């Protein structure tokens, strides 16, 4: 199942970013350190018009530190880009954002030329928590649910440092299937946009191949890491459900409940420090997604040619969208 989620307010966010970026010096993109590639919005490169970019890998305390180092090296190798990792709830690391912005745009600073920064990110990546940490107050609403922030807001971090916060935004079509699953597992996608059991099985498939010991330890399964890795995804989900008492009548496992348990444990960091992708893996997934998307577009164009020439459309009336 392809996972897609782009509710109406995200169109408004897209328009707001397009307008606001004209007067912006640095664009901060907050990423989830557990899925840095999947949580990077491919629309931003076009929307932000080549402005210097600061990639902030948030929730580093939940991510695999070795893989975080790989992702930092990957993003720091890009032109006009810096990358740092932090936990948005900790005050001292959060201040590194201000220093990094000044390094990216050294000509800005002082009352005559205040630093103007736009912060973007997918839903539920921790933007509001970070802003509250930076300001030492509760200017932004927070919650473990996608889509809490709905309106753009300007926040003054210092007399010469202005920060514009935008609502969390995905992109209209996710062409990397694995990214859709990872985003759903992290909580970035609305609950009605995916099937919990399907996402949990995909998540377990990756965890048993890369973090089997953490799964065995957390769920107190009577298997070593090698045995966990050898299990089928469905078998593992059933074993977890039985261990946690997610049962229906006659000893059957409630797979829906078991799936919810798996995703809750992952989101809470109870399975250990986990990152669901490396730069190399994501690069491969992206190439495959782009190839499949190109094939889909080619087939669609071929069908259009077979159907004959499209009928001319009437011109829009003055005052209407064309």
Give span(s): CATH 3.40.50.300, the chain.
9-165
In terms of DSSP bridges, do strands 81-86 and 53-58 run parallel, antiparallel, or are they unpaired?
A: parallel
3-state secondary structure of 288: helix
- Check residue 252 and give its pLDDT: 94
Q: Look up the pTM and report it.
A: 0.85
* Cβ pair 91, 97 in contact under 8 A: no
H or E stretch at 120: strand 115-121
User: The tokens of 291 are what?
Assistant: 């190839």
pLDDT in single tens digits along all 322 residues of the chain = 567 766 555 667 777 788 788 889 999 999 999 999 999 998 888 888 789 999 999 999 999 999 999 999 999 999 999 999 998 777 777 778 889 999 999 999 889 999 999 999 998 898 888 888 887 765 555 444 444 444 567 888 888 999 998 888 888 789 999 999 999 999 998 888 899 999 999 999 999 999 999 999 999 998 888 999 999 999 999 999 999 999 998 889 999 999 999 999 999 999 999 999 999 999 999 999 999 999 999 998 888 777 655 555 544 333 333 3
Give span(s): CATH 1.10.1580.10, the chain.
177-267
Cα→Cα distances 105→8, 109, 112, 115, Å: 33, 9, 15, 8
User: The tokens of 152 are what?
Assistant: 């753009």
CB-count burial class (<10 Å; 0-12, 13-18, 19+) for 314: exposed
3-state secondary structure of 293: helix
H or E stretch at 202: helix 196-210
CB-count burial class (<10 Å; 0-12, 13-18, 19+) for 281: middle
Q: Find all residues with CB under 8 Å of 255, minimum gap 6, and list them.
A: 197, 237, 238, 241, 246
Distance between CA atoms of 103 and 91, rounded to whole angstroms? Answer: 20
177-267 has which CATH code?
1.10.1580.10
Distance between CA atoms of 170 and 11, rounded to whole angstroms? Answer: 10
Instruction: Tell me which of 3.30.479.30, 3.30.465.10, 3.40.50.300, 3.40.228.10 is the CATH number of domain 9-165.
Output: 3.40.50.300
**Cβ-based neighbour number of residue 248 at 10 Å:** 12
């Amino acid at each position: 199942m392809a996972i897609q989620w782009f509710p109406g307010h995200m169109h408004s966010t897209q328009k707001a970013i397009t307008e606001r970026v004209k007067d912006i010096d640095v664009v901060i993109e907050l990423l989830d350190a557990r899925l840095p590639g999947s949580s990077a919005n491919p629309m931003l490169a076009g929307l932000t018009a080549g402005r210097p970019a600061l990639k902030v890998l948030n929730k580093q305390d939940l991510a695999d530190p070795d893989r975080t180092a790989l992702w930092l090296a990957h993003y720091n190798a890009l032109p006009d880009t810096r990358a740092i990792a932090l936990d948005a709830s900790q005050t001292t690391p959060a201040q590194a954002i201000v220093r990094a912005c000044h390094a990216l745009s050294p000509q800005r600073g002082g009352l005559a030329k205040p630093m103007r920064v736009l912060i973007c990110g997918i839903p539920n990546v921790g933007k509001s928590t970070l802003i509250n940490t930076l300001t030492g107050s509760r200017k932004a609403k927070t919650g473990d649910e996608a889509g809490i922030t709905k309106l753009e807001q300007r926040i003054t971090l210092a007399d010469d440092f202005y920060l514009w916060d935008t609502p969390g935004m995905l992109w209209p079509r996710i062409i990397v299937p694995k990214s859709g699953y990872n985003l759903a597992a992290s909580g970035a996608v609305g609950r009605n946009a995916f099937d919990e059991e399907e996402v949990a099985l995909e998540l377990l498939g990756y965890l048993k191949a890369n973090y089997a010991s953490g799964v065995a330890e957390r769920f107190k399964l009577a298997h070593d890491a090698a045995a966990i890795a050898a299990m089928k995804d469905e078998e593992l989900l059933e074993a977890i459900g039985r261990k946690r008492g997610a049962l229906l009548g006659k000893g059957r496992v409630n797979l829906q409940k078991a799936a919810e348990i798996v995703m809750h444990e992952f989101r809470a960091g109870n399975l250990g420090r986990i990152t669901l992708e490396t730069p190399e893996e994501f690069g491969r997934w992206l190439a495959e997604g782009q190839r499949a998307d190109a094939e889909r577009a080619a087939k669609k164009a071929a069908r259009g040619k077979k159907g004959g020439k499209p009928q001319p459309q009437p011109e829009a009336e003055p005052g209407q969208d064309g």
